[in-house]
């Protein structure tokens, strides 16, 4: 009975409560669909023959294995502004989290029908296996540079509910399980998966982070005493990079100012690391768009400048994100 209750609580937190909180489930779907339409209507594609030559090195592993393994880990994305957050008359308390709604919106987007007369890959994915709390595996067969491969996206979110006080109180044990699951999908995928993406908070250099925030006495995120000093997420990231110093996969850090927070440490660990970073503060919806843009380009078999042109369809994304060694 206890196990059943826990599972039901987890399922409830990832379906009912988040169905339309902040409107993010619908907003993520609509904004993402609009952005993919921009890509479909852009002139950022070259002939496939050119891609075979220019981009074969980037895709040699997934082509050889017959699968392109993508891990997309949504961090614990909280709004820690020192006050209770009220949306459409409902009080979500201090530090409510956003990642559950985004997670649901992304699943809806990835499983949506492909548009007619549009060369799009991020559509008509099938959910693989039985449903799990806060984790979904999506698969689709694609043609990658003339080779039939399976695309597998493992998508996770970190918050067990939107409510901070619940996540550090009565749901703390369940929260720890989701934190561990998300960390496994991100840190342990480095050197294993072909593409590993993080979308969440940089925690002023203390991220990537999949746990409820440490708050100071004013109920703001404790950057000064904890994240900027202890750097818990960066330590885990560095350990993963050192374990896989010859990692040929792509690492995407789509959090705020990830270039200034993480770039030098990452490149010291592996100067050849294929990397996507942000240059400044970025809004959550823009980081989602950038992630979709890069993923669409990857699944089109693109690399280098062509990949950048595909991924960046709006001015703020053109200046806010960039790739390194993506060839």
**Residue 71, pLDDT score:** 99
CB 273 within 8 A of CB 324: yes
* Mean pLDDT across 109-138: 93
Judged by phi (left if over 0) then psi (alpha if -120 to 50, else beta), residue 95 lies in: left
49 or 94, greater pLDDT: 94
- With a cut of 80, say whether residue 9 has pLDDT above it: no
Query: Greater confidence, 294 or 80?
Result: 294
Split at pLDDT 50, 70, 90, the class of 6 is very low
- CA–CA separation, 224 vs 215, rounded Å? 10
- The strand pair at 90-91 and 86-87 is best described as antiparallel
> By three-state DSSP, how is residue 126 classified?
strand
Closest by CA position to 266, among listed 200, 180, 198, 327: 198
Between 270 and 2, residue with greater pLDDT: 270
Residues 291 and 278: beta-carbon distance below 8 Å: no
Q: What is the pLDDT of residue 50?
A: 66
Give 42 or 238, the one with higher predicted confidence.
Answer: 238
Q: Is residue 11 exposed (0-12), middle (13-18) or buried (19+ Cβ within 10 Å)?
A: middle
Taking the C-alpha atoms of residue 308 and residue 321, their distance in angstroms, rounded to an integer, is: 9
Is residue 193 predicted with pLDDT exceeding 90? yes
Share of the chain above pLDDT 70, in %: 91
Reported confidence tier of residue 8, pLDDT bands at 50, 70, 90: very low
| CB contact at 8 A, 235 and 269 | no
- Decide if 48 contacts 127 (C-beta within 8 A): no
The set of residues, in sequence order, having a beta carbon less than 8 Å from that of 117 and lying 6+ positions away, is: none
pLDDT of 2 = 32
More confident residue, 129 or 18: 129
Average pLDDT score over residue span 143-159: 97
DSSP reduced 3-state for 317: helix
């Amino acid at each position: 009975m206890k196990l059943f209750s826990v599972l039901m609580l987890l399922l409830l937190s990832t379906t009912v409560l988040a169905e339309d909180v902040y409107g993010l489930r619908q907003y993520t779907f609509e904004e993402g669909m609009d952005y993919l339409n921009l890509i479909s209507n852009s002139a950022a594609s070259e002939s496939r023959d050119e891609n075979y030559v220019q981009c074969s090195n980037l895709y040699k592993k997934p082509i050889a294995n017959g699968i392109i393994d993508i891990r997309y880990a949504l961090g614990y994305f909280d709004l820690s502004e020192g006050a209770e957050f009220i949306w459409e008359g409902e009080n979500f308390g201090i530090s409510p989290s956003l990642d559950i709604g985004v997670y649901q919106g992304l699943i809806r987007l990835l499983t949506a029908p492909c548009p007619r007369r549009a060369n799009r890959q991020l559509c008509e994915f099938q959910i693989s296996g039985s449903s799990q709390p806060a984790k979904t595996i999506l698969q689709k067969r694609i043609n990658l540079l003339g080779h039939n491969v399976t695309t597998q996206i493992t998508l996770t979110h970190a918050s067990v509910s939107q409510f901070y006080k619940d996540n550090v109180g009565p749901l703390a044990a369940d929260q720890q399980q989701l934190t561990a699951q998300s960390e496994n999908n991100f840190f342990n995928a480095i050197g294993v998966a072909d593409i590993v993406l993080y979308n969440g908070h940089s925690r002023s250099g203390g991220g990537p982070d999949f746990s409820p925030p440490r708050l100071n006495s004013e109920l703001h995120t404790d950057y000064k005493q904890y994240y900027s000093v202890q750097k818990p997420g960066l330590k885990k990231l560095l350990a993963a990079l050192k374990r896989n110093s010859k990692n040929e996969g792509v690492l995407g850090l789509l959090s705020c100012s990830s270039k200034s927070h993480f770039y030098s440490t990452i490149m010291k660990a592996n100067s050849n690391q294929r990397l996507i970073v942000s240059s400044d503060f970025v809004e959550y919806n823009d980081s989602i768009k950038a992630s979709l843009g890069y993923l669409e380009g990857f699944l089109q078999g693109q690399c280098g400048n062509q990949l950048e042109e595909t991924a960046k369809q709006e001015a703020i994304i053109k200046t806010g994100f960039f790739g390194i060694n993506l060839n």
